[in-house]
Structure 1
Amino acid sequence: MISLYSTQECHLCEMAFELTKQIGISQRVEKVDIALDNDLFLRYGVTIPVLKYQQSELNWPFDKQQLLNWLDNNGITYHT
């Protein structure tokens, strides 16, 4: 499972999630609201959206190609 650290009403987070839809991985992305966890809020509060898979993170800003490269580097399959 890929985590998307975000929060409500975050337009950048929605843009990041839209990129996951475009490449067919959104069903494997779990949105994690950092506002509900103090530790996550302290860590990601000013950097969201952040995608995380195992120990690898992709911090915003990223575009579709950067997302594809990150997925490739982590051995995650996708559909374009």
Structure 2
Amino acid sequence: MIVKFYSRPNCELCIEGLHTLKIVQEDIPFTIEHYDIEGNDEIHEKYMLMIPVVEKDGDIIQYGQLDYVTLLDALSE
């Protein structure tokens, strides 16, 4: 399973969110593909106010303040 993680540099919420996602990864095996929204105008426009964003199979699982339970439930399905 591949999970996309969208963030930007120097974003404290993104650093915390990635940490939470990696804790979930200890319980469920998946690959994290990390995307810097600053490097792509289309992605930047789409997610600029939402980061961090976690996406699986084209669907947004969670954004902003990420939490373990929500991510675990969504990625366990």
Q: Quickly name the TM-score band, shorter chain normalised.
A: 0.7 to 0.9
Mapped to 1, the partners of 2:7 and 2:29 lie a distance apart of 14
For 1:26 and 1:33, the matched residues in 2 are separated by: 23
Q: Which ranges in structure 1 are unaligned for 5 or more consecutive residues? A: 74-80
Query: Identity over the aligned pairs, expressed in percent?
Result: 25
Q: Which residue identity is paired with 1:20?
A: L
Structure 1 residues 27 and 70, CA, compared in 2 at 3 Å: closer, same or farther? closer
Ranges of 4+ aligned residues in structure 1 off by more than 2 Å = none
Is the contact made by 2:3 and 2:30 (CA closer than 8 Å) also made in structure 1? Answer: no
Aligned counterparts of 1:27 and 1:7: Cα–Cα separation in 2: 21
Scaled by the length of structure 1, the TM-score of the pair is 0.80
Q: Provide closer, same or farther for how the CA distance between residues 48 and 70 of structure 1 changes in structure 2, counting only shifts above 3 A.
A: same
Alignment of 1:1-80 (within 5 A): 1-23=2-24, 24=26, 28-57=31-60, 58-73=62-77
Aligned residues: 73
Distance in 1, Cα, partners of 2:29 & 2:9 = 17
DSSP 3-state at the match of 1:62: coil
Q: Structure 2: how far apart are the matches of 1:29 and 1:49?
A: 13
Rounded to whole Å, the distance in 2 between the matches of 1:71 and 1:34 is 22
CA RMSD across the alignment: 1.8
State the TM-score, normalizing by the size of structure 2.
0.83
Instruction: Supply the distance in 1 between the matched residues of 2:29 and 2:76 (Cα, whole angstroms).
Output: 16
